[in-house]
């Protein structure tokens, strides 16, 4: 979140400094009456000066009610009654509030600044809904006010534990990332273990009082509970109750699905077997509805295997990930792991067969009304992760995209073209066209030329100068390959045909002339 620089840090330019000296000299020559008349005249022309004078006078007399009411009106004005977008100005509206909050704070009324801050935090974020074109100005304005509020909080009469709870409650209500850059409030304020102990006990009571979200509850319910649990973990850690953190995570994992955090905590505590067991349980509970969490757990299982140098276990989990969502990067990782245990040829054959048929090689064929069981022909050990329910349609196989990329990786040009042409039946234009042409240009130059010509001509057909520029690199590749094949005449013939066909496209002709 962008922050405005403190004016005190800015250097005053020489010219401005001289002008101020001149202005001061003029003011010093005026009489008291003349100065009063001059200032009153300014208040007529500039109402803001009148407000500042009134605020300063009231604060000096200890009469803070008028300035508090004025700040409340300014805060309420952040929410236009008729959502008048044009009337909202983030820079001036928030600057006005920040000035008055600072004046109130500097006069020693920190509690009142905190009180007003609660109203500001309730209404200010709504400005994002009214002013879609000035998010930076809103963020900057709120950040400036928030800095003042947090400074006031530390100087308020609130007990230190209450200060922490005020901050935590405000952060938990924050739906617009307003508090994202305020971590220093916790780090630099020097709150002690005793303060965090009070906070942890309060948050524990709140968590126990909350209704446990059910499977059909909204994401918001789970998210709120997870955030409350996150702050409780922080409070437990800072109060010296590290051992209670694991108990909390074990309690919350089945509710908020924070299995990966629990596993990390158990591994840090040296409780590897428990971590392994929670990975298995968490994966089973999340693979169908929350696959992102499940595969993070799988990655943790891989990390455990890497630390123990158990390459067979690494390959086993990688294979499961590959069957779930095949890609070339996983194929290469699997190759590296399987070569360490000298079973890559068998694994490779099984993976390629899977990409063609969609039949998983690690499972035996399923009999009617029976669940799949591990296959004895699969060269890798079972990874003990429950197998995800496969709902992949049969028409996704053969997986021509991955088969093409794997063939390019393994430098098998015939198979590259085989799978590429099969894939092109379903797509007019594909993002692997150029890579395929590069992969086969040495062994199948005519195929490479045909691909580059098709891509270049597709761009030219868009009839846009920008598209002509995109076509140029492909045309240069065509020229280079023709020359390498000593077929310059064919290049000249092709170039002449392009000129003749598109002679009316002046910008294209300029590009063709530059080749």
Residue 11 DSSP class: P
Which are the contacts of 465, defined by CB distance < 8 A and separation ≥ 6?
Answer: 507
Classify the C-alpha dihedral 232-238-240-243 as positive or negative.
positive
What is the separation, in whole angstroms, between the first and last Cα of the chain? 48
Using the predicted structure, report yes or no on whether residue 221 has a pLDDT greater than 50.
yes
Sequence-distant (6+) residues with CB within 8 A of 139 are: 1, 2, 178
Enumerate the domain spans of the chain: 1-181, 441-515
Question: How does pLDDT run across 392-438, given as a tens digit for each residue?
Answer: 555 588 999 999 999 999 999 999 999 999 987 665 556 789 999 99
**Distance separating alpha carbons of residues 299 and 305, to the nearest angstrom:** 10
Number of C-beta neighbours around residue 351 at 10 A: 23
pLDDT at position 125, please? 74
Tens digit of pLDDT for each residue in 2-49?
333 333 334 445 455 555 677 788 877 788 887 776 777 666 766 776
- pLDDT value at position 218? 61
Distance CA 442, CA 305 (A): 41
pLDDT at site 8: 37
Q: What distance in Å separates the CA atoms of residue 246 and residue 267, rounded to the nearest whole number?
A: 11
| 308-356 pLDDT tens trace | 999 999 999 999 999 999 999 999 999 999 999 999 999 999 999 999 9
d(CA 399, CA 351): 11
List residues bridging with 374 in a β-sheet.
Answer: 363
Which string of b and e fits 270-288 if b means at least 16 CB within 10 Å? eeeebbbebbebbbebbbe
The pTM of the full predicted model, rounded to 2 decimals, is 0.77
374 three-state secondary structure: strand
**Residue predicted with more confidence, 305 or 190:** 305
The DSSP secondary-structure symbol of 71 reads: H
Cα–Cα distance for residue pair 149/61, rounded to 1 Å = 23
Which residue would you say has higher pLDDT here, 44 or 167?
167
Helix (H) or strand (E) holding 503: none
CB atoms within 10 A of CB 302: 21
Contact 467, 505 (CB under 8 A): no
**Looking at the predicted structure, is the pLDDT value of residue 69 above 80?**
yes
As a whole number of angstroms, the distance between CA 323 and CA 360 comes to 7
* pLDDT score, position 198: 97
Burial track 182-216 (b if 16+ CB lie within 10 A, e otherwise): beebeeeeebeeebbbbbbebbeeebeeeeebeee
| The predicted structure's pLDDT at residue 2 | 35
Mean pLDDT of 179-205: 90
Could you give the CA distance from residue 436 to residue 443 in angstroms, rounded to a whole number?
12
Closest CA to 138 of 108, 176, 109: 176
Three-class secondary structure of residue 498 per DSSP: helix
What distance in Å separates the CA atoms of residue 278 and residue 260, rounded to the nearest whole number? Answer: 9
Which secondary structure element, helix H or strand E, spans residue 166, and what is its range? helix 160-173
- Count Cβ atoms below 10 Å from residue 88 Cβ, excluding itself: 20
Preceding omega of 424 cis (within 30 degrees of 0): no
Residue 197's contacts (CB-CB under 8 Å, 6 or more residues apart) are 235, 239, 241
What's residue 389's pLDDT?
Answer: 56
Cα distances (Å, whole numbers) of residue 222 to 168, 176, 296: 18, 18, 19
Environment class of residue 141 by beta-carbon count within 10 Å: exposed (0-12), middle (13-18) or buried (19+)?
buried
Arithmetic mean of pLDDT, 198-207 = 96
**Whole-number Å distance between alpha carbons of 417 and 423:** 10
Smallest CA-to-CA distance from 260 within 226, 298, 310 is with 298
Residue 371, classed as helix, strand or coil, is coil
d(C-alpha 457, C-alpha 467), whole Å: 10
The answer on pLDDT for 92 being more than 60 is no
At 1, is the pLDDT very low, low, confident or very high (cuts 50, 70, 90)? very low
Is 515 in contact with 495 (CB distance < 8 Å)?
Answer: yes
Rounded Cα–Cα distance for residues 137 and 126 (Å): 13
- For residues 454-478, one letter each, b for 16 or more C-beta atoms within 10 angstroms of the residue's C-beta and e for the rest, the string is bbbebbbeeeeeebbeebbebbebb
Residues contacting residue 30 through CB under 8 Å, at least 6 positions apart: 38
CA pair distance 292, 300, nearest whole angstrom: 13
- Distance in angstroms (rounded) separating the CA atoms of residues 257 and 266: 15
For the chain, the average pLDDT equals 86
DSSP for 180-242 reads TT-THHHHHS---HHHHHHHHHHHHHHHHHSPPPPTTS-HHHHHHHHHHHHHHHHHHHHTT-H
The C-alpha angle 12, 18, 21, rounded to 5 degrees, equals 105
């Amino acid at each position: 979140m962008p922050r405005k620089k403190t004016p005190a840090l800015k250097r005053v330019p020489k010219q401005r400094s001289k002008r101020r000296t001149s202005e001061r000299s003029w003011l010093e020559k005026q009489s008291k009456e003349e100065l009063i008349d001059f200032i009153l005249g300014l208040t007529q022309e500039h109402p803001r000066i009148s407000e500042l004078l009134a605020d300063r006078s009231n604060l000096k007399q200890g009469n803070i009610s008028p300035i508090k009411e004025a700040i409340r009106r300014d805060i309420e004005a952040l929410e236009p009654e008729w959502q008048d977008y044009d009337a909202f100005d983030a820079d001036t509206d928030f600057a006005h509030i920040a000035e008055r909050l600072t004046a109130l704070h500097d006069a020693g009324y920190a509690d009142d600044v905190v009180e007003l801050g609660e109203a500001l935090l309730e209404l200010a974020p709504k400005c994002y809904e009214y002013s879609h074109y000035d998010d930076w100005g809103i963020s900057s304005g709120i950040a400036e006010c928030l800095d003042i509020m947090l400074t006031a909080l530390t100087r308020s009469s609130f007990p230190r534990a209450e200060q922490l709870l005020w901050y935590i409650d405000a952060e938990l209500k924050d739906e617009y990332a307003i508090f994202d850059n305020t971590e220093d409030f916790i780090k630099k304020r020097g709150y002690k273990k005793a303060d965090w102990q009070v906070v942890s006990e309060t948050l524990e009571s709140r968590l126990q009082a909350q209704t446990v979200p059910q499977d059909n509850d909204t994401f918001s319910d789970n998210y709120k509970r997870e955030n409350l649990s996150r702050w409780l973990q922080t409070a437990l850690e800072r109060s010296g109750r590290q051992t209670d953190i694991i108990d909390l995570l074990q309690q919350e994992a089945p509710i908020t699905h924070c299995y990966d955090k629990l596993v990390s905590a158990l591994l840090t505590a040296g409780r590897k077997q428990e971590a392994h067991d929670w990975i298995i349980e968490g994966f089973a509970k999340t693979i169908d509805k929350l696959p992102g969490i499940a595969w993070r757990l799988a990655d943790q299982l891989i990390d455990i295997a890497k630390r123990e140098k158990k390459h067979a276990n690494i390959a086993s989990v990688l294979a499961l990930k590959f069957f779930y969502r095949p890609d070339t990067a996983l194929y290469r990782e699997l190759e590296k792991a399987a070569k360490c245990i000298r079973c890559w040829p068998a694994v490779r054959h099984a993976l390629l067969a899977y990409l063609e048929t969609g039949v998983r090689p690690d499972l035996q064929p399923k009999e009617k009304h029976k669940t799949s069981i591990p296959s004895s022909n699969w060269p890798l050990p079972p990874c003990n992760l429950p197998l995800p329910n496969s709902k992949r349609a049969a028409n996704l196989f053969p997986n021509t995209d991955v088969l093409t990329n794997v063939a390019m990786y393994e430098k098998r040009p015939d198979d590259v073209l085989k799978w590429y042409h099969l894939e092109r039946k379903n797509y007019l234009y594909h993002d692997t066209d150029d890579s395929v042409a590069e992969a086969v240009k040495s062994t199948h130059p005519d195929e490479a030329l045909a691909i580059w010509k098709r891509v270049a001509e597709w761009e030219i057909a868009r009839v846009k100068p920008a598209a002509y520029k995109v076509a140029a690199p492909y045309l240069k590749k065509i020229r280079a390959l023709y020359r390498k094949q000593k077929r310059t005449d064919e290049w000249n013939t092709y170039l002449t045909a392009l000129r003749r066909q598109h002679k009316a496209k002046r910008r294209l002709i300029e590009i063709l002339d530059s080749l």
